[in-house]
Amino acid sequence: MKKVYTCFCTDIIHEGHLHFINEARKYGELTVGVLADAAMVKYNRFPSISIDERVELVRGIEGVSDVIVQNDIMYDEIFEKLHPDIVIHGDNWSDPSMQAIKNNIISLTQKYGGELIDIPYTHDPKLSKLDKQMREKLAMPEFRRGRLRKVLKMMPLIKAIEVHSGLTGLIAEKTMVVEDEKIDQFDAMWISSLCDSTEKGKPDIELVDMTSRFRTIEDVMEVTTKPIIFDGDTGGLTEHFVYTVRSLERMGVSAVIIEDKTGLKKNSLFGTEVEQTQDSIENFSAKIAAGKQAQLSDDFMIIARIESLILERGMDDALARAKAFTSAGADGIMIHSRKKDPDEILEFCDRFREIDPNTPIIVVPSSFNTITEEELSKHGVNICIYANQLLRAAFPAMKNAAESILRNHRAAEIDGELMPIKQIITLIDEL
């Protein structure tokens, strides 16, 4: 009997899978690998049931001799441990991530022996609908809300990118790169007050009201499934913040970050160049506690953002606040800096980790942008937010296109720099 191996990355078993198993078992004794949680997330297939449940689901299928957990989307560990004679895969090799998997399997068969056999995918509208419904489930508020806490448990570092519209949401949702045989993508989205305001041509001073900010959330939510972290600015008055918490929870937002400033908030990247007032530890702690008291689900997170380094009040003040805000119930601490050098951020992280090994640390490396995710993770950072890059990328490109049309009195000259209409419309899913 030949040793046959295939990997499953699904939460439901339908006729297509059963057909696939039936074909695969014809080649020999079939072991099915079930892709582990973290690998599924990196591959943009968020599991809606646990790994144990997925293993049981596959174990129950007739014709499956053994079930194991496959820890990585690439097959190195499988070939080292199992030495399969045949690896069976669907014939859906078209996108770059699939190509990378195919190359990986082929190079392993050259090293260890064995062969790769494709089985054609079943193209049945009924089955495609089932797959689509599974994806839609991930977009439901109840499910999406808890997704941030889940990924925090699965992965050492979560990468979030700024989104301010349905289109930027789609970029955060779908962008995937393959490098050094590793597939990577963003884990979460950040709805920045700076970008939400700038997109509307308004200053970042809590001028764009909550109704409008919620509309942005809805636009993003309608077309994506990834968890949303909302920039709640100061949270406003405590009496208002409690309502904001309830609304965000109801919509399916995973977390709100509020900063310890008061009065007319200005963007932190202005630092001490403009007048900004830091809230007292007592007031801000009371705001956090009131928010935690108001929230109805266990999933939702209220994260306290500390502005002591921005306002040059010193490291000890930042640490004292971090301690107080976690005691008041904050589910995470965001520490911000506008220095180019990451030293003060790293010092904060190291010292905070000495007193608190668990509370998630969130950073926004806009100014200290040379530090890598790996270095941040070594210092205990759990969430890295790329807070404004999509907007900053779009603005000069749009301005350039507008200037080119004005200068040339036609659009032909700029066309080569623009995405073809056909490509941009394929980004948009139709129901």
Residues with Cβ < 8 Å from 201, sequence gap 6 or more?
none
336-358 burial, b if ≥16 CB within 10 A, otherwise e? bbbeeebebbbebbeebeeeeee
- Rounded CA-CA distance 230/101 in Å is 35
**Which residue has the closest beta carbon to Mg ion?**
193
CA distances from 150 to 44, 173, 381 (A): 14, 17, 16
Q: Tell me how many residues contact ligand SPV (CB under 6 A).
A: 11
Tokens of 411: 């659009």
Rule CB under 5 A: which of 204-233 touch Mg ion?
Answer: 231
What mask, x for binding ligand SPV by CB under 6 A, covers residues 317 to 356? ----------------------------------------
Q: Give the strand order in the sheet containing 3-8.
A: 66-70, 29-35, 3-8, 86-90, 115-119
- Rounded CA-CA distance 284/275 in Å is 19
Residue (37 or 231) nearer to Mg ion, CB? 231
Residues in the chain: 431
Q: Are strands 255-259 and 86-90 parallel, antiparallel or unpaired?
A: unpaired
- R_g (Cα) of the chain, nearest Å: 24
Residue (148 or 334) nearer to Mg ion, CB? 334
116 is a site residue for ligand SPV (CB under 6 A): no
Residue (183 or 364) nearer to ligand SPV, CB? 364
Which residues on neighbouring strands pair with residue 116, listed in sequence order? 87
Residue 44 interface partner, choices ligand SPV, Mg ion, none, CB cut-off 5-8 Å depending on type? none
Q: Tell me how many residues contact Mg ion (CB under 5 A).
A: 3
Residue type, 194: L
Asked if 144 and 153 count as a contact pair (C-beta separation under 8 A), the reply is no
205 is a site residue for ligand SPV (CB under 6 A): no
Asked if 51 and 146 count as a contact pair (C-beta separation under 8 A), the reply is no
220 is a site residue for ligand SPV (CB under 6 A): no
User: Judged by CB under 6 A, which of 231, 249, 299, 331 binds ligand SPV?
Assistant: 231
Residue (36 or 381) nearer to ligand SPV, CB? 381
Longest dimension (CA), the chain: 76
- Rounded CA-CA distance 67/6 in Å is 10
Residue (194 or 256) nearer to Mg ion, CB? 194
44 is a site residue for Mg ion (CB under 5 A): no
Alpha helices in 224-372 (DSSP H): 238-251, 281-294, 315-327, 343-355
139 is a site residue for ligand SPV (CB under 6 A): no
Reduced to 3 states (helix: H, G, I; strand: E, B; else coil), residue 336 is: coil
Residue (114 or 169) nearer to ligand SPV, CB? 169
What mask, x for binding Mg ion by CB under 5 A, covers residues 163 to 202? ------------------------------xx--------
Residue (148 or 194) nearer to Mg ion, CB? 194
What is the nearest approach in angstroms of ligand SPV to the Cβ of residue 51?
35
Query: What amino acid positions are annotated as catalytic residues?
Result: 204
Residue 366 interface partner, choices Mg ion, ligand SPV, none, CB cut-off 5-8 Å depending on type? ligand SPV
Residues with Cβ < 8 Å from 271, sequence gap 6 or more?
310, 311, 312, 338
Phi–psi pair at 341, nearest 5 degrees: -90, 130
Residue 387 interface partner, choices ligand SPV, Mg ion, none, CB cut-off 5-8 Å depending on type? ligand SPV
364 is a site residue for ligand SPV (CB under 6 A): yes
**Which residue has the closest beta carbon to ligand SPV?**
192
**For ligand SPV, which stretch binds (CB under 6 A), given 75-83, 120-128, 187-195, 211-219?**
187-195
User: Judged by CB under 6 A, which of 4, 189, 194, 335 binds ligand SPV?
Assistant: 194
Residue (341 or 403) nearer to ligand SPV, CB? 341
- The closest of 74, 139, 146, 144 to 105, measured between CA atoms, is 74
CB atoms within 10 A of CB 241: 21
387 is a site residue for ligand SPV (CB under 6 A): yes
192 is a site residue for ligand SPV (CB under 6 A): yes
67 is a site residue for ligand SPV (CB under 6 A): no
Rule CB under 6 A: which of 258-317 touch ligand SPV?
Answer: 267-269
Residues that bind Mg ion (CB under 5 A): 193-194, 231
Residues that bind ligand SPV (CB under 6 A): 192-194, 231, 267-269, 364, 366, 387-388
